[in-house]
């Protein structure tokens, strides 16, 4: 299964690759012909794997925060969140490499209280200032059990488009599709300071499945 945001790119890539393969087939020099065809096919495979959208079964629990994306936990620290909460929060950042699944999923179920896009730079996603200076979207979801959490989709050096489906006032379903970030980036979670974490630095998590935190 592929994500809807990749349909157009997949079709265009398939047409280009087919044209390269057919054109290369007319070349008499074998290593050039097969080399071009191999590169074209590998490129198609990379595009297909990037836009894959595997089905995930999310264990619904309003007291749990589920990983919103696949990737590695690269930041766990106390910070001052100044866009929405204006107080100290526990930040958990998950970095996605180009080979990770790039679907963003709702970390908790509840009501979308805030959703805003910010244009910005394209610093590498692990840069300390990328959370505030890069192109990004900020979304806050709240439920009666856990309260409000904020997650931020952040563009990286390769990511040039952030897709965000969250709209203020709508109902978010934990684990369901909340957006997409094209070609590598990260997502920051901002949680209450008394949150009980279920992850540690450098841990690999699976979006929509692994529990990042729970209400203490």
Active site residues: 185
Distance between CA atoms of 43 and 72, rounded to whole angstroms? 25
Element housing 212 (H / E): strand 211-214
What pairs with residue 134 in β-bridges? 121
User: By C-alpha distance, which of 46, 95, 50 is closest to 204?
Assistant: 95
Query: Are the beta carbons of 147 and 115 closer than 8 angstroms?
Result: no
Distance between CA atoms of 33 and 38, rounded to whole angstroms? 9
How buried is 69 (Cβ within 10 angstroms: 0-12 exposed, 13-18 middle, 19+ buried)? buried
Distance between CA atoms of 96 and 149, rounded to whole angstroms? 20
Between helix 7-24 and helix 30-50 the angle, nearest 10°, is: 170
DSSP designation for 18? H
Radius of gyration of the chain (CA): 19
């Amino acid at each position: 299964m592929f994500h809807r945001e990749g349909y157009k790119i997949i079709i265009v890539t398939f047409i280009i690759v087919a044209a390269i393969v057919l054109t290369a087939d007319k070349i008499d020099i074998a290593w050039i012909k097969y080399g071009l065809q191999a590169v074209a096919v590998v490129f198609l495979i990379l595009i297909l794997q990037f836009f894959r959208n595997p089905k995930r079964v999310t264990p619904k629990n309003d007291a749990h925060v589920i990983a919103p994306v696949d990737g590695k936990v690269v930041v766990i620290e106390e910070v001052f969140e100044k866009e929405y909460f204006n107080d100290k929060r526990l930040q958990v950042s998950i970095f996605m490499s180009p080979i990770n699944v790039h679907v963003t999923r709702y970390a908790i179920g509840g009501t979308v209280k805030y959703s805003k896009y910010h244009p910005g730079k394209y610093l590498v996603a692990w840069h300390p200032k990328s959370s505030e200076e890069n192109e990004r979207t900020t979304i806050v979801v709240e439920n009666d059990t856990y309260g409000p959490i904020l997650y931020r989709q952040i563009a990286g050096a390769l990511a040039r488009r952030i897709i965000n489906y969250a709209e203020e006032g709508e109902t978010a379903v934990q684990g369901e599709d909340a957006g997409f970030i094209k070609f590598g980036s990260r997502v920051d979670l901002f949680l209450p300071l008394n949150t009980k974490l279920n992850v540690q630095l450098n841990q690999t998590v699976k979006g929509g499945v692994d529990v990042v935190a729970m209400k203490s």
